[in-house]
Amino acid sequence: MTIRPLIALLAGTLFGAGLTVGGMTDPARVRGFLDLFGDWDPTLAFVMGGALVVMAIAWRFVPGMARPIFEDGFHVPTSSDLTPKLIGGAALFGIGWGIAGLCPGPGFAALAIEPLSAAIFVVAMFAGMGLVRLTER
């Protein structure tokens, strides 16, 4: 047992709180943001903007750090190729996001808001992930 799960629990809790405060756990608000050609609700642009500013600052610390505070090294993605798989996957994800107004983070966070609905979404999402896992073996 190390301290890492505790750090992750802290991060997850901050993340879930932020999603809830920002309105991302509210499917009507998320779909309102995606309803660009209707009654558009720009709130999620502010959520995205707030998160991007903080993370853009965080990335600037990385080059000057020999390693993360609680890990041996940084493990961040390095690939840069734009594959059909990336684009097709993102396209599919957007369709699912639009249908129910939920993406993975808010799906888990909503377990504390409307447990039954959120559980149905989360179980179905794991099933989808499992499908991909099966085809990749």
Partner 1 sequence: MILPGFRDAAPVDGLIGGGLIGLAAAVMLLGLGRIAGVSGIAAKAAGLGGSGMGRATAFAFIIGLPLGAFLVTLASGGLEQSFAGPVPLIIAGVIVGVGTRLGSGCTSGHGVCGMSRLSARSIVATLVFMATGIATVALMNATGWEALS
Considering only residues 101 to 130 of the shown chain, the ones binding partner 1 according to CB under 8 A are 101-105, 107-114, 117-118, 120-130
Note whether 75 binds partner 1 by CB under 8 A.
Answer: yes
Residues in the chain: 137
- The minimum distance between CB 49 and partner 1, in angstroms, equals 6
Residue type, 31: R
Chain residues 4-43 in contact with partner 1, contact rule CB under 8 A: 4-29, 31-32, 34-43
Distance CA 42, CA 54 (A): 19
- The minimum distance between CB 53 and partner 1, in angstroms, equals 7
- The minimum distance between CB 121 and partner 1, in angstroms, equals 4
Helices 43-61 & 27-34 angle (0-180, nearest 10): 90
Q: Tokens 């409307």 correspond to what residue?
A: 114
